[in-house]
Amino acid sequence: MSRFKQWWHQTFDDWAFRSMIGPAQTKGAVHGADQSSREQWKRDLANRKRYTREQRERRRLDNR
C-alpha cells in the first residue's frame, strides 16, 4: 500500500467513523458490529485517550 493511500485511510477512515458514531462511549458502543468496526472503534478510542493524556501533560508542564 502506498504511503499516501495508507495516510488517507488512517486519517479519513477515522474521521468518517467518528462522525458516524458520535462521542466516544464504552458501554455497549459497538455491540453486534462486525470485527473491522470494533477494531476501528478501539483505535479511535485509543487515539482520543492519547490526545487527552497529551493535553493534560501539556497543561501540567505549562503550570509549573
pLDDT mean for each 10 residues of the chain (64 residues): 79 67 58 76 91 92 85
Output the pLDDT for position 9. Answer: 75
Output the pLDDT for position 3. Answer: 86
C-alpha cell at 45: 478510542
CA dihedral 10, 42, 46, 12 (to 10 degrees): 20
Output the pLDDT for position 58. Answer: 92
Give pTM, 2 decimals.
0.46
